[in-house]
Amino acid sequence: MLNEDNVTPKLLTDGKTKNTNSNVWYLDNGASNHMTGEREKFMELNEKITGTVRFRDGSAVEIKGKGLITFKCKNGEERMLRKVFYIPSLCSNIISLGQLSEEGNKVVLKGNYLWVYEKQGELLMKVQRSPIDYIN
């Protein structure tokens, strides 16, 4: 899903089991980092990396690691998403458009579409904007 606005992620705050759609990743141009609350998504995870992420609404959550996630593309190829924070209390999966850009990828927004091109110019993803779906 593409949401150009800053997303305030849904957090696990009531002690209940997560209710998340693990296949949905929000592309956020306001997020500083890629992040997920799903430990099983990581191919590699360094749990020595800790800290805090503060969201737009002032809430803060603990980082419990940073690592590598792989995605399988529609054409069957696998791509890596590096430097993803593991935040157990997070019920949303977020890809930071800013972080993609900082890593040398080209991010293009035009009309209802977003394209991300790798450093070498190869198309990584083309995403159609879906209706705004607030996570709160």
The whole-angstrom separation of Cα 127 and Cα 136 is 22
Token pair belonging to 71: 């995605």
Q: What is the CATH number of the domain that holds 70?
A: 2.40.70
pTM given for the model: 0.78
Each residue of 23-70: pLDDT tens digit? Answer: 788 898 888 999 999 999 999 999 999 999 888 888 889 999 999 999
The whole-angstrom separation of Cα 34 and Cα 94 is 5
Handedness of CA 126, 133, 95, 84 (dihedral sign): negative
Task: Count the domains in the chain.
Answer: 1
Q: Which of 23, 20, 30, 31 is nearest to 1 (CA)?
A: 23
User: Is residue 49 in some structural domain?
Assistant: yes
In this predicted structure, the answer to whether residue 105 has a pLDDT above a threshold of 50 is: yes
User: Is residue 34 in some structural domain?
Assistant: yes
User: Is residue 82 in some structural domain?
Assistant: yes
User: Is residue 39 in some structural domain?
Assistant: yes
User: Is residue 122 in some structural domain?
Assistant: no
User: Is residue 128 in some structural domain?
Assistant: no
Each residue of 60-70: pLDDT tens digit? Answer: 899 999 999 99
Domain limits for position 85: 2-11+20-103
User: Is residue 109 in some structural domain?
Assistant: no
The whole-angstrom separation of Cα 6 and Cα 105 is 20
User: Is residue 26 in some structural domain?
Assistant: yes
